[in-house]
Amino acid sequence: MVRAEIINQVAQKLGITKRSASIAVNMVFKSISNALANGDKVELRGFGSFTIRHRNARLGRNPKTAEIVQVATKKVPFFKAGKDLKIVG
C-alpha cells in the first residue's frame, strides 16, 4: 500500500475530499518525522513504536567496484510492531 491508497481510504471512510485526507495523512507522517528528528520516541498504542537507532561506523564494500569504503556513523529510524499489529504466520 502506498500513500495515495491510504489517502483514498481515509477520504472514503470519513466522507471527506481527497485533498483534506491528503493534508491529514501528510500531517501525521510529518509529525512522526519531526518527532524522530528531535530524538523523541513515537508510540501508537496497539500499532507500534518508532525510535531512532544509532549505527556505528564500519567498513563496507562498493558492490560495483569491490572497493572497501568507510561507512560513517548514522542514525536510522526503527519500527517495532505492537501486539495488535503482529501477524501470526
Per-residue model confidence as pLDDT tens digits over 9-29 = 999 999 999 999 999 999 999
Residue ranges of the domains in the chain? 1-39, 41-89
Q: What is the pTM of this model?
A: 0.77
Over residues 69-85, the mean pLDDT reads 92
81 pLDDT higher than 80: yes
Is the pLDDT reported for residue 86 higher than 80?
no
* Through-space distance between the first and last CA atoms of the chain, rounded to whole angstroms: 20
Phi-psi region of 50 (alpha: psi -120 to 50; beta: other; left: phi over 0): beta
SS3 annotation, 11-64: HHHHCCCHHHHHHHHHHHHHHHHHHHHCCCCEEECCCEEEEEEEECCEEEECCC
Look over the chain and give the mean of its residue pLDDT values, rounded to a whole number.
Answer: 93
Question: What is the third-level CATH fold of 41-89?
Answer: HU Protein; Chain A (4.10.520)
